[in-house]
Amino acid sequence: MQEAADSIRQHFRKLGFDEREVFNIDKSFDWNSFHHATNNLSLFAEKKILELRFATAKLDDTAKKALHQYFEDPKSDFILLVSSPRLEAATLNTKWFKAIESHSALVQIWPVNREGLAAWLEQRLLQENIRADAAALQLLMDKVEGNLLAAMQEIEKLKLLAGNETDELINLDANTVMQVVADSSRYSVYNLVDSTLSGELGRSQKILAGLRSEGLFPLVILNAFTREIRSLQPMVEKRQQGQGVNAIMQASRVWYNRKQPVGSALQRLTSDNIWQMLDHSKLIDQSIKGLSTLNPWDEISRLMVTLSGKSIATTANSRV
């Protein structure tokens, strides 16, 4: 979004829009300031870019009215640049949005997920004449996942360290990435749940450690897991009754981008696993609330082991 906005600003600066005024829109925003900026014209007014940065994609009636009023009488000396979080499909089809879109150019910026991150990083590196081998690319992806700004900063750092004054490609290996690139990955609870469902226990434990270091309350994580486990319970029963996994997910309205992790979990989990994890979740809830001496973070980690389909090494196993 930042780069798209930069391109738009650069384009209009070449057309003489040298001034810029930014409005950060939240619930307390006074739209009179926007009305004043768009109506306060003079004979010597400079061409200006007006930026509306919405904190939420849900516009209240005051915001909708202000935008409609502006587009009813747009000023040639102004360019309006509006940015917001992702708009729901239902919003894009509303009458008020269609009216605004008819005066605008709509640019949708889709997030770079883990599946597309490697290709994105490879492309950005090649733009800087850096070619990374598979191991370096995987390591870089692990270190910057969920934080594209950090990714760009690390690529710029690699470029400066290489000091390449020619157009020749520089080869990047994993050792260089290990020495140079900081761990700037950012994850959400949703990343944690899907990674665990996919059986990626190593990555899941890393995400859990990251969320803990950020100070996230463990009950938030537990609630996400228990909600997911409860939603899996009827699907697991149907799978044990002989129904196909794809048909089950279709009937349960599992989102397309979650079919891989959910499908992976359905292939290996049983009803006994589900009830075992729900019983374990009760104990973790008690530990979070101070009703037991168990360490909640350790217990969440153990819950993840079960959900991921792995087994915990025991003393008995180690003697075998």
CATH number at residue 128: 1.10.8.60
Which structural domain range is residue 260 located in? 189-313
Q: Domain count of the chain?
A: 3
Structure tokens at 262: 């959910």
Residue 320 in any domain: the answer is no
Q: Span 46-70, mean pLDDT?
A: 87
Q: Are residues 219 and 306 in the same domain?
A: yes
Alpha-carbon distance 157 to 124, whole Å? 13
Rounded to whole angstroms, what are the CA distances from 36 to 33, 186, 252, 314?
5, 40, 51, 70
Residue 309 in any domain: the answer is yes
Per-residue pLDDT at 10 exceeds 90: yes
Structure tokens at 77: 């000396």
Q: Are residues 196 and 255 in the same domain?
A: yes
Looking at residue 312, its pLDDT comes to 58
Q: Span 200-226, mean pLDDT?
A: 91
Looking at residue 27, its pLDDT comes to 85
Q: Are residues 151 and 195 in the same domain?
A: no
| Stretch (H or E) spanning 48 | strand 48-54
CATH of the domain at 242: 1.20.272.10
Alpha-carbon distance 99 to 104, whole Å? 9
CATH of the domain at 51: 3.40.50.300
